Every structure is written in structure tokens, then in C-alpha cells.
A = this chain, B = another copy of it.
Amino acid sequence: MREVAVLGTGMTRFGELWDRSFREIGIEAGLQALVDAKLSSKDLSALYLGSMASGPLLDQEHIAPLILDYAGLAGRHLPAIRIEGGGASGALALHQGYLAVASGQYDYVVVGGAEKLTDVPDTTGNQIASASADHEWEVVFGATLPALWALIARRHMHQYGTTPEQLAQVAVHAHAMGAKNPLAHYRNRLTVAQVLGASRVAEPLGMFDCAPLSDGAAAVVLGPLSEAKRHTDTPIRIAASSVATDTMALQHRRDPTVLESTRVAAQNAFRAARLTPSDVQVAEIHDGYTISALVALEDLGFVEKGQAGPAFERGEFTGRGRLMMNPSGGLKAQGRPFGAVGVAQVVEIVRQLRGAAGDRQVPNVRVGLTHDVGGTGATSVVHLLERGEP
């Protein structure tokens, strides 16, 4: 397999972008990434686009050629392919872009992720947002995604003594980082008291335990590592790209506090890259709900099962340990436009590894990880990214 590098990044602001269309934000992110990679559209071989629910949201499927078209590139007749896997759609698109370049069939590929969630009246509780859970065994009975993650939280509390305060710390950290991120949906700081006092969504999760629904797009340009020096002074190698799945319905898992798909994807990624969790200095981790991040930290191997709560409280993932989690603000503060999330995570890690993350730069980073989840973990995707030697 050919080695693959990230050569450029692009990203719109995340938030309620009511004055901008799906097409516009997709194009903005993609063109930014091309410019950043010092490529013109003439060099491009293909587009992969991650998006979860363009059909129900926009009455529009077939969105990958749509974005190429409205970027003025229809005349190039390039391959343009949409990838879908619930909230993990963006990370899966990256996996496909990675394989496309690794295979040798394509040289320079734009991987984008885009979603426009705030133009429809009620995405939260309804079937659009929960369509990544099991419709026949969960959603028809009223189990929305927040409700399912609340079950995971309850069980984690019962089994390991995790506290509401520990969960709240995840949100507080997210907003502290979001405050430093000019592209973040939320830039206000939160206190533990505010998180605990917020109105309840699904006990024990309150409003501030849940990531928002956002509009936004992100993109990266991938190419062969061997060519990378021609495009950037700081090529970032994709050391591993790994996907794993699990049962759709939470009730069918042996232990609801374990994301087996995350465990398997992480183990495969670390093995492929010949790295271990202790090699990672910065990670963008799925925190769709505060509990999601704690569970993921455990299943990715950064802390023992059941110990993420106390470790988080001690600051081990927020500046006082080896690993900085979610310097972007994560899904909670940077925002959650489903299909864009997995790509935005990679944008952040690449910017961190390049030393170009502005106010939120983590010092001395060489290896970064991204972790994206669909549903309650029926899909997990893990990428390991590594800065080349200078």
C-alpha cells in the first residue's frame, strides 16, 4: 500500500448558518483545503463526501457530484462519491479517501464532510437525528439517541461510580476550548454548576451534557506521502485508518458501558501504526454526550475501564496529563454537523501537528488520534496521524 498524507485542510464556521446553503459550505471547505495544499482543481482525482441525512434534511441524495458541480468542476467529470454511516459518515469518507490513494488508482483526493441540520424545525428528538440508531428495535419505541446514551451513563455510574460532576467536567472542558476556537459553534465558558443545573434531556444527561445540532463543513486533501513535500512543509502522515462495527441496538450488547467497535478499531489502528496509546499527545474524541467521551477514553486505551471519570477530574486529559482531549472544543462546543464531524476532527489534529492551532495549540505534539462514532457505537472509526521528522 502507498503511504498517504494529509496535504491541506479547510473548514467553515460551525453553528446555525441559516444564511448559507449546503452547497455553499461544502464548496467553501473543499476549496480552502485545495488552496492550503497548494493544488489547483486540475490536480484533483476524486471527491469523497461524508453526509448522514441529506435525503430527509434536504430532499437531496446524490450530493457528491452536486458539490463538484456547484464548485464549477462538473467539466472535469471526476469521481465523486458519498459515504454514509450515521454520525461517523465523515470519518468513513476519510477511510475511503485513504484507501483510494493507498490503492494507487487516485493521487489527490478531497475528502469532505457536510451537514445542514438547523434548517428543519425539529431534528433533535425526531427520526432524522435518531436514524443512526436501530429503527425497528429502538427508535419506534421512543428511544432517541440522547435516551440511549443516558442508559449508558446510568450503567456506567452504577458499575464504576462515575458522578454527574465528572460528566459535567467534560462539558466544561469542551467549552473552555471552544472559547479559543474561532470556528466553534459555542464560544461561551460553562461551570460545573451550570451543567448540573441545566434542564434535563434524559436523566442523568442535561442540556449541557449533549452536543448541539449544527451546520458546517470540513475538508482535507489527501495525497501520496512521497509527493507531500511538494505541497506542504509539514505533511502529516496517516499512520492508520481503521473502522469497526457492533450491534445497532444497545440492548443487544453484552455490556452497554463498552464500545466494542471503538476497542477493535483502536486496537487495529495502533497495531497497524506500531504505536500505543501512550504515544498519542492529542486526540479528538467523540463527545456527542459527556458520557460518550468518558467511555471512549477507556475503550481507546487511554485509561482503564471505569476509571475515566476520576482521571478526567484529575485533569489527565485536559492539560495535566500526557494527552490533551478535544482542543477544538469537540462536538460539544465546536459543534456537531453529523457528516462533517469526522473530517473536522482530522482538520484539528492536522493543525495541531503542524503547530498551527493558534490559541489552543497543544505543545510538543507528534502523534494525534481521531475517534468518530455512529449511533451508540454501531460504527467507530479511528485514525492515527503523525508528523514527519522535520
Contact = CB atoms under 8 A, between A and B. Distances in A.
A61 B338 CA distance: 12
A243 B106 CA distance: 12
Interface in A132-190: 132-136, 139
A52 interface: yes
The A contact surface, by secondary structure, is: mixed
Given A61-B132, A84-B84, A132-B62, A245 B104 contact: no
Contact of A65 (B58, B85, B100): B85
A311 interface: no
Contact of A378 (B62, B86, B92, B135): B62
A127 B374 CA distance: 26
Interface residues of A, number: 61
A103 B104 CA distance: 7
Give the interface centre of A85, A100, A379 by most chain B CB atoms within 10 Å: A85
Given A81-B96, A82-B83, A85-B81, A379 B246 contact: no
A375 interface: yes
A297 B352 CA distance: 51
Given A1-B105, A55-B56, A60-B135, A252 B69 contact: yes
Interface in A53-67: 53, 55-56, 58-62, 64-66
B78 A244 contact: yes
Nearest to A21: B136
A248 B95 contact: no
A260 interface: yes
A64 to B, nearest CB: 7
A84 B103 contact: no
A185 to B, nearest CB: 22
A52 B63 CA distance: 11
A62 B55 CA distance: 13
Contact of A53 (B61, B74, B128): B61
A247 B74 contact: yes
A62 B104 contact: no
A135 B65 CA distance: 13
Interface string A101-115: 011110000000000
Contact of A127 (B59, B64, B80, B249): B59
Contacts of A247: 69, 74
A61 B103 contact: no
A99 interface: yes
B81 A248 contact: no
Contact of A79 (B58, B78, B243, B248): B243
A66 B378 contact: yes
A123 to B, nearest CB: 13
A378 B65 contact: yes
B248 A379 contact: no
Contact of A103 (B1, B66, B127): B1
Interface string A370-381: 000011001100
Contact of A61 (B65, B74, B77, B84): B84
Q: Which of A80, A81, A102, A247 has the most C-beta atoms of chain B within 10 angstroms of its own C-beta?
A: A81
A388 B95 CA distance: 31
A170 B136 CA distance: 41
A68 interface: yes
Contacts of A102: 103-105
A192 interface: no
Given A81-B92, A83-B82, A55 B58 contact: no
A104 B84 CA distance: 23
Q: Which 4 A-B pairs have the closest CB atoms?
A: A62-B86, A79-B243, A103-B103, A65-B245
